[in-house]
Each structure stands twice: as structure tokens, then as C-alpha cells.
Chain A
Amino acid sequence: MAYTEEELKKELETKEYEYGFYTDIESDTFPNGLNEEIVVAISKKKEEPEWMTEWRLEAFRIWKEMEEPEWANVTYDKPDFQAISYYSAPNKKPKYDSLDEVDPELLDTFKRLGISLDEQKKLAGVAVDIVMDSVSVATTFKKTLGEKGIIFCSISEAIREYPELVRKHLGTVVPQKDNFYAALNSAVFSDGSFCYIPKGVRCPMELSTYFRINQAGTGQFERTLVVADEGSYVSYLEGCTAPSRDENQLHAAVVELIALDDAEIKYSTVQNWFPGNKEGKGGVFNFVTKRGICEKNAKISWTQVETGSAVTWKYPSCILKGDNSIGEFYSIAVTNNFQQADTGTKMIHLGKNTRSTIISKGISAGKSQNSYRGLVQVGSRATNARNFSQCDSLLMGNECGAHTFPYIEAKNSTAQIEHEATTSKIGEDQIFYCNQRGIDTEKAIALIVNGFSKEVLNKLPMEFAVEAQKLLEISLEGSVG
């Protein structure tokens, strides 16, 4: 996608959240509230096998006994879980053979998001599985992937078509009882994506999914499962936008990655959910559990650019179970106005010679609070484990906060763990220097922030990096005097 200075300029002139529109599509929505009947009804609606219904019910029973966690460095009004509708699907038949059959209004939504399928199809090597209001409405490039034996479809479809694969892996990395939100997700997840890369196959294109919360008052519970079989490779992209809403929208996704021996998974996210308005009203609650497990010689990289959501609670983690496995976490988290983010990672070293790298860049502006929380844990059998962590914070203005909570637990004396942290502030001198060279203040901030974030931006696939840079600039507009 061409991205000219002119386009950038136009965007910088738009002060309000640009994706704040609402598409009026008839929906099939369940009544508010959560009980066993609702869980069963969701499962039935999705034509799931009995084991799946049972699995959901088990999760629901666990969830009922759990308390919502309070340890994160965020404050918000807790959602009323009985005031949420747990299922909403576009009312039209969910699958289409061609674009002609798709509701024109829906297509228009995609166009406004800049992700028209036509364009996407033409774009080099990106297959898109679009999740709109919980049900996948379109999947492209499936055939090309099929030829390599790669499965990339909605999780609902996977449960129907590949029950053995799903049953074998679902909940193995993030069990139902893992935490409050993971349990809730396990009980009521409406849809999500499933991806399987067979042994020795290198996925020839970036797999990408666009999530979108669309129905007022509907919680969104995505479930993603990526399985990379021995010696395979896949790069998975996830990008999100949401329409603006006055009430808070809850989002509690679960992502599980499984990298078998010698496999590699790259998982990149650009998250741009509605952060609430300038007064701190509205915005998405994003309580996500993302975790991957690495078998022998396997590698998992998480890269994330977080600019949205009113409250974020998210720790993409790696369990380095196999010897010589590698975990990486590259993150940019931007908070502005009244946003709150508590995000970081966990690197659990269990195997020998396991290595992990954490690069976290936090940018706070306005009255926002931005926390990094990370755990590096080295098990007693993980000889020669290595970790390098770097947490940099950039502050803009005097009313925001940056916090770092690094936890280190090493049970093996051969472990080498390094932690570096810096905090800096965009200085008036830097801005004046740029001004003097003819660069106005907005552009100067964009330049400085992009420079600060460069190490992470470089880890993103090309087209995503451009999108991410755009987001950083939009998110920080007007944040310095």
C-alpha cells in the first residue's frame, strides 16, 4: 500500500478516532446474562460436538468460582457480566461463495477500514480471515494454503472439520482454569481463528486476521489456536480496529501458540481499539491471555503494537519447554489521555540452553498510565538459560506515568539474566531542534517516537510496520503543548 506524506498529513489533521463508525447489520443476539443454558446455546448455535459443549461447561463452572483479578496497575469499573450478551452474529448466512453475496454495507465497512477484500486479494501474499461480530464471513487464499496442507479457518469451522486436531491442542497452553478471563473465554468464546502448519512446511504468505467489535454491548471473546508442526514456519498477523461506543466493551481473547520441535511462529499484533474519548469516557477493556509453548529447538516471537483500548491487561508469554528453544517479545505500548495499560510478558525457561529476549517500549502521554510487567523464570533443570530484557519508557508531558515491574526467579545457578531499563522524556530541545530544521511539532514527535520504537517496528512485517507507524502518530496527536 502506498503511503504518501499527503495521506499522513491528512490523518494528522483528523483528531477524532477515525474508525469510530457503526455498521447497521441485522444481528442474531442472545439475551444478556450468563448461565449454563447460555453456554450450551452458544455451543449448539455453532453446531459443536458434545465434547466441546462439555469443555465449555467445565470452563464455566470453574469461572463461576473465580474472582476477577485486581493485581494489575489499572483502575476501572468492573464489567457486569450479567449485563453482557454473549453471542452476536451477523444475521445473514455466515458463509459466502463470492463477494457478490456479501452484504454491501459490510463490504463498505471493510472499505472504510481500508481492508477491502478485493484489495487484499491483490496484495502480495496476504490471506485474510475476517472476524466480524464473532463469525467469520470471508476467507480468502484458502486454496493456495490448502495445496500445502495448511489449515487456516475459523475456530468454529475447525471444531467441526478437524475435531481431533482441535481437541488435542485446545487448552493445552492456556487451560480453562488459567485465569478469570481465560476461563470466561473458554466458556463462551464465539469465534476466532485456527491455523495448522504441517510438518516441514513453510507457510508461503503472512496469515492475517482482522478483528472488529461491532455490536453495541456485545462482549467479544476470540479464541485463536496456532499449531506449527515439526520443522514448520508461520508468520501470523493480527490487526484490530473498533467502532466508538459510549459504554465500555469487554474483550477477553485467548491465543494459544504451539511450536513443535524445530518449528517457528511469529505472531504480530497491531491493536487499535477505541481508547475512550479525551475525557476518558468509553473505550474497550482488553483482557487478553496469549501464550505459546516451544518444544525442542522451536522459536516463538511475539511482536505487538498497542495503541488502543481504555484498559489493557495483556502478557504474551513463552513457555520454553524444549531444549534450545527461543522466546522473543517485542512490544510498543502507547497510552494517551486516560488510557491505562499493564502489559509485558512471561518467559518461562524449562529446557536447557533456552534463550529469551524482551524489548519493551512504553510511551505515555496525556494523563495515562503505562506499566510494564514481566516475569523471567528459570527452572531448576534449565541449565545455561539466557535472558536479555530491555524496558524503555518515553514520557510526554507531566501528567502521565510509566512503571516497570520486572520479576526474576532463577532456580538454576547457570542462568544469565540481564535487565536494562531507561526512562526519557521528549525534550523541548529535541522539538526545537526539529522545528529549526523545518519540521513542525507534530511531525517532530512522530519522528522521535518512531525512532524510539524502531527496534520493535523493525520486527514487524513491512505492511504492518507502515500501519503501526501511522497508528503511533495518530495516537499521540496533540499530546505535547
Chain B
Amino acid sequence: MLKINNLHARVEDKEILKGINLTVNAGEVHAIMGPNGSGKSTLASVIAGKEDFEVTEGEVILDKENLEDVSPEDRAHKGVFLSFQYPVEIPGVSVTNFMKTAINESRKAKGLEDMPAKDMLKLIREKSELLEIDRKFLSRSLNEGFSGGEKKRNEIFQMAMLEPKLAILDETDSGLDIDALRVVANGVNKLKTKDNAVIVITHYQRLLEYIVPDFIHVLHDGKIVKSGTKELALELEEKGYDWLKNEAVVK
């Protein structure tokens, strides 16, 4: 589904990604771990098409299509979803209105009519139940005055509504207490099918106890320095990132 080849990217003069290779197949869950500043969030932004980052080398391929010249909104229409580490506030725009606009814009791109209000309502009801979201919450301005946990839950709610092919969860666990973490992880697991894929970006293995990855990759200084199965997370938890850093230097 997703194939990243030798990806280099920089912001202004600073090179952040220095040759990433990654293949994600349908039905898989990948975790990307690594210390602060290793390029995890940059990788997520580049896949989503954020223009602040310049891709200097390599490519991102989704379903055999090179995404190089594809706008962020078209990537979204093709099924890429990014759960933001820091979701932005949009005052005066309700969660419902925002979702309605997003869904209908995607439908429009596919040549479909707007979703009938009845279906939209049904979808909202179904997905808000899945994530244990109070209906009143949906009438609030997007992310305005939301607690950290509410913001993250709202991101996953949007993911549920948009049913992406490839979901990237950027530090979704940060700011979540244990109960919220469980609800969010539970939601992600329920949304998982054999046709979609999830990339979980996280600092800690805590989230990975709930969303169990098929593969774990460790990012350091813009490169994947180690890949493995879920056991790698435990090893990291125990030893920290330093042993990998050293290993990378030795290499």
C-alpha cells in the first residue's frame, strides 16, 4: 500500500529525513519510535504532503502512485489520514460542521453527491458511540478549549468518520490518561480491517500494549536504524534509545 524509498526531506536548510525506507502493506500496523528530534513527526507531515518540507530525494508511493505532485487535500481524498500531535483550533466551526465539510469535499473529489443528512447523522451517531463521545461535544468549536485528551479523541473520531486507507497517528498517546488511552486504542482497533493500515508514532511502548503493532521501526537522526517485531518495544523500554544510537554510530 505505502512504499517509501530513500526519502530525504528538509525544512529550510536543515535536512531532517536522511534516507527513509519503509513498506506498509494493507492489514498491517507499524509503530515508529525514536527519541525527540529524530524526524518522526516530519515523516508523518511529509507523507501527508505538508509543503513546509522539501523532498530532496526519494519518493512516497501510495497504491503504486507517486505522491510527489499530489496536494495534501488530494492525498486525503486518496485515503491518507494524519492524527495530529497538536490539533489546531478553528473557532466558530463545530466538529459536526467540520466533519460534514471534510466528508463532502472528499465525496465531491470522487464525483459523488453530498452525503444525505440522514446518512451523515447515522454515521455520526455510530462513530461517536464507538469512541464514547458525548453528542454535545460535537457542537463545540473544533478543538477550542478542548483538553489534551479531548483533542486526541476528536482526532480519532475524525479518523473513524473519514475511514482512511492509511492512518498515521502522531503521538496520539501524549496527553491521554489511562482511561482515555484505552478508549482511543479500542477505537483504533475496531476500525482496523484487512484493507487498511495504521502507522503509530510514539515515544513510549505504553500505547503499543493496546494497539499491538506487527512491526516496529526505530528512527534516529532521520534514518530507520532498527526494525523488528513488537518485542523490540520492550527492549527499548528497558534499555532506552542510547544503545541504538551507539549502534548506529558503530555502523
Interface residues of A (CB under 8 A from B): 4-5, 9, 427-430, 432-441, 443, 447-448, 450-455
Q: In the complex, what's the smallest C-beta–C-beta distance from A439 to chain B, in angstroms?
A: 5
Chain B positions 5 through 38: 1 when the CB is less than 8 Å from some CB of chain A, otherwise 0 = 0000000000000000000000000000000000
Rounded to whole angstroms, the CA-CA distance of A427 and B101 in the bound complex is: 19
Q: Which residues of A contact B58 (CB under 8 A)?
A: none
Contact status B87-A433, CB under 8 Å? yes
List 20 contacting pairs A-B, 8 Å CB cutoff, sorted by A.
A4-B114, A5-B108, A5-B114, A9-B108, A432-B50, A432-B72, A435-B73, A435-B76, A436-B72, A436-B82, A437-B162, A439-B102, A440-B71, A443-B105, A450-B92, A451-B90, A451-B93, A451-B141, A453-B92, A454-B92
Query: Smallest CB–CB gap between A224 and chain B, Å?
Result: 31
Select A439's contact among B48, B81, B101, B141, beta carbons within 8 Å: B101
Q: Does B227 contact A (CB under 8 A)?
A: no
The distance from the CB of B98 to the nearest CB of chain A, in whole angstroms, is 7
Residue from B73, B82, B98 with most neighbouring chain A CB atoms (10 Å): B73
Q: Which residues of chain B (72-117) have a CB below 8 Å from chain A?
A: 72-73, 75-77, 80-82, 84, 87-88, 90-93, 97-98, 101-102, 104-106, 108-109, 114
Q: How far is the CA of A443 from the CA of B108 in the complex (A)?
A: 13
Q: Smallest distance from the beta carbon of A362 to chain B beta carbons, Å?
A: 15
> What residues on B are CB-neighbors of A436 within 8 Å?
48-49, 72-73, 75-76, 80-82, 84
Contact check, B105 vs A440: say whether CB atoms are below 8 A apart. yes
- CA separation between A428 and B142, bound complex, in Å? 16
Alpha-carbon separation in the docked complex, A34 to B101 (Å): 54
* Chain A neighbourhood of B52, CB < 8 A: 428
- Residue B42 is within 8 A (CB to CB) of chain A in the complex: no
Q: Quick one: given A443-B101, A443-B105, A447-B93, are A438 and B162 in contact (CB under 8 Å)?
A: yes
Among all A-B residue pairs, the 3 with the closest Cβ atoms = A451-B92, A451-B93, A438-B76
List of A residues within 8 angstroms of B81 by Cβ: 436
B158 contacts A437, C-beta separation under 8 Å: yes
| Complex: chain B residue closest to A451, CB-CB | B92
Whole-angstrom distance between the Cβ of A261 and the nearest chain B Cβ = 36
Residues of B within 8 A of A4 (CB): 114
Chain B residues near A454 (CB-CB < 8 A):
92-93
Q: Is the CB of A435 within 8 A of B72?
A: yes
Q: Which residues of A contact B88 (CB under 8 A)?
A: 427, 429-430, 433
Most A Cβ at <10 Å: residue of B48, B76, B80, B109: B76
Q: Which residues of B contact A430 (CB under 8 A)?
A: 88, 90
Q: Add 8 more A-B contacts to A432-B50, A453-B92 (CB < 8 A).
A: A5-B108, A434-B90, A436-B80, A438-B162, A443-B101, A447-B93, A447-B101, A452-B92
Q: How far is the CA of A452 from the CA of B87 in the complex (A)?
A: 18
CB-based nearest A residue for B81:
A436
Residue of A429, A435, A438, A453 ringed by the most chain B CB atoms within 10 A: A438
Chain B residues with CB below 8 A from A435, complex form = 49, 71-73, 76
| Contacting residues, chain A, for B104 (C-beta < 8 A) | 5
Q: Which residue of B lies closest to A443 (CB)?
A: B105
Q: Are A447 and B98 in contact (CB under 8 A)?
A: yes
